[in-house]
Amino acid sequence: MTADTTTTSPEDDAQSYGSAQAATNHQALLAWVREVQQLTQPAQVVWVDGSEAENTRLSDELVAAGTFVRLNPELFPNSFAAFSDPKDVARVEEQTFICSKNEREAGFTNNWMDPDEMKVKLNGLFSGAMRGRTMYVIPFVMGHLDAEDPKFGVEITDSAYVVTSMRIMATIGTAVLDRMTQLDAGFVPALHSLGAPLSDGEADVPWPCNDEKWIVHFPEERSIWSYGSGYGGNALLGKKCYALRIASVMARDEGWLAEHMLILKLTSPQEKTYYLSAAFPSACGKTNLALLDPTIEGWKVETLGDDITWMRFGKEGELRAVNPEAGLFGVAPGTGWHTNPNAMRAIAKGNSVFTNVALTDDGGVWWEGMTEEVPAHLIDWQGRDWTPDMDHPAAHPNARFCTPIDQIDMLAEEFNRPDGVELSAILFGGRRKTTVPLVTQSRNWANGIFMGSTLSSETTAAAAGEVGRVRRDPMAMLPFIGYDAGDYLRHWLTLSAGADQARLPKIFLVNWFRRTAAGGFAWPGFGDNSRVLKWVIERLEGTADAVETPIGFVPTGDGIDLTGLDMTPAEVEAAVHVDAVEWAQELEGIEQWYAGFGASLPDELKGQLEELKERFSNA
Ligand code: GTP
Ligand code: SPV
Ligand code: MN
């Protein structure tokens, strides 16, 4: 590690910063890179070009370092497994901050600290943080490089694992840098360090990180600083930090929406096509619905996105949606040949990074739910021998696969359209054992926004902390709204006021996770969710009956197509039942949630709650 880390004079701007050349004269970028280099003191700087050769070299280095295990190429070509530090397995919401100039702008759902104070803290932490490591500069774009106003970012990171993962999740490298330079475009500076500097001769560990973690956003500056974690949304900064938290602020200011949604294309037996988006909280079924294999005859599903959707109203007042990502970072457990064969086929093509899964004896990967038969022996995600009699899972519940989206056979060709697709319906959904019916159609758009604003779900392993606690998660965006939550809901309401009201998507609430009295799932879920999508489409077309309830319209017992399914209309009725006792409690929960907004709650939503209460008292 003898590379020259001294800064260069201005005339050297387009010169080497270590082992690689900076092939740009984008002055703002060069200045920022130099500043970060001075602060973090890496052994060398590498400008990431995004090439295959570079990826091979990085993967080889990660194997040599013990971070990657190369999988059997006959099972998973060009694929690797990584195992994180057991204290670095999920997003850390407690340590995620929105540092707007004033606290009110961050709102009651976010952690806030004064930006100047936070900068002092971060400058201290980042000072020398990359010593002994390579600093990678990753130019990236979220969404299309050819979009009217491409959304550029540059992630600086000292993690090669992050580089290989960002290469799957976003468009990165030379083409992006060239376009950015040509346009002299602005970019979101996204600084990431593992917070694990190496002193001379110090041996590295397979998963360096720091017990102290900070995931920080400066919305006015549109910048991101992430310290101490190498995992997922904490470290792949194009994803949640940029494409949701910072983008939601851009969207507020520029008149669009950045949402935690999948996008799918549905073709009916009559060959009519529909585009739907759906917002479910983390680990609540977006990837699975996006890759759905319909169990009903004649219906076809294609995928456009599985986690993040950017939406804007088009020239004709229609709501258009694009997926800004290029890869899947999907929950592995529960993804299997029976539940999600499309994801399995995409994964089997290789070119994937798996994190915190288990290893099979033949050099493949396994996780709970992948196959019905459980292998007799595995190496679990913590490197221990594992057999089926053990009482802990072999894969971590938040184990993930990271796979290029174009490996999905059912990827819709519209994925490549910079102007996206027109949405016909939006689903909001959560994970609720009780109370919330399988599917409910909202009374109208504003009522649908009310449904989204009061969405609730049991917490999952996707974030550190307690699992299974019911919490409100507005539009599945609770951890991702980059500004005041009341202002965010107001933005939804005001933005749509100018749209073509007749073309507004219809909004539905779904819950695949309701339980029966016996404790089992009230609905089979997965591919059978196509039956619910069919009802949704029939409601759009005005051909399906519904029962009006105080919360909205639910299917009649025989309104859901049960062909080929071992289920009765009475069981459907139970799955969509609106229980007055459960809802009395739910209304209290909603009231408490709304009280937290204080003055920032839009009046229209307050009105929606009053009307809902009235409908229940009249029922
Ligand atoms: P993030 O990537 O964290 O944003 O999650 P996601 O919303 O994409 O969740 P995903 O589709 O990966 O599903 C998470 C878990 O929910 C998996 O363990 C699935 O097996 C389970 N799941 C998904 N869909 C269904 C369903 O229809 N029914 C049931 N019972 N479980 C489901
Ligand atoms: C989520 O938690 O919603 C994810 C995974 O999609 S992460 O990228 O870690 O945010
Ligand atoms: Mn997500």
Ligand 2 centroid–CA 241 distance in Å is 10
> Confidence band (pLDDT; 50, 70, 90) for 5?
very low
What pLDDT sits at residue 619?
85
Nearest to 68 by CA among 352, 329, 316: 352
What pLDDT sits at residue 7?
36
For atom 1 of ligand 2, which residue has the closest CA? Answer: 282
Q: What percent of the chain has pLDDT over 70?
A: 97
Q: Which domains does the chain have, with CATH numbers?
A: 7-69+94-255 (3.40.449.10), 258-326+413-618 (3.90.228.20), 328-407 (2.170.8.10)
Residue-wise pLDDT for 88-131, tens only, equals: 999 999 999 999 999 999 999 999 999 999 999 999 999 999 99
> Confidence band (pLDDT; 50, 70, 90) for 323?
very high
Residue-wise pLDDT for 392-436, tens only, equals: 999 999 999 999 999 999 999 999 999 999 999 999 999 999 999
Residue-wise pLDDT for 149-163, tens only, equals: 999 999 999 999 999
Which of 162, 237, 323, 329 has most ligand 2 atoms within 8 Å of its beta carbon, as the pocket-test mutant?
A: 329
Ligand 1 centroid–CA 139 distance in Å is 31
Residue-wise pLDDT for 10-51, tens only, equals: 334 433 333 456 789 999 999 999 999 999 999 999 999 999
Contact (CB, 8 A) for 522 and 546: no
Q: How far is CA 77 from CA 73, 74, 84, 178, 295, in A?
A: 4, 6, 22, 31, 30
Above 80 in pLDDT, residue 252?
yes
Ligand 2 centroid–CA 469 distance in Å is 18
DSSP letter string, 337-399: TTT-HHHHHHHHT---EEES-EEETTS-EE-TTSSSSPPS-EE-TTS-EE-TTSSS-SS-TT-
Contact (CB, 8 A) for 291 and 410: yes
Contact (CB, 8 A) for 216 and 225: yes
Residues with CB under 6 A from ligand 2: 91, 232-233, 239-240, 282, 307, 329, 462
- What are the binding residues for Mn(2+)? 240, 260, 307
pTM for the whole thing?
A: 0.96
Known catalytic residues? 284
Above 80 in pLDDT, residue 380?
yes
What pLDDT sits at residue 16?
36
Whether the ipTM is more than 0.85: the answer is: yes
- What are the binding residues for substrate? 91, 231-233, 282, 398-400
Separation of alpha carbons 597 and 102, rounded Å: 16
Contact (CB, 8 A) for 338 and 405: no
> Confidence band (pLDDT; 50, 70, 90) for 378?
very high
Above 60 in pLDDT, residue 6?
no
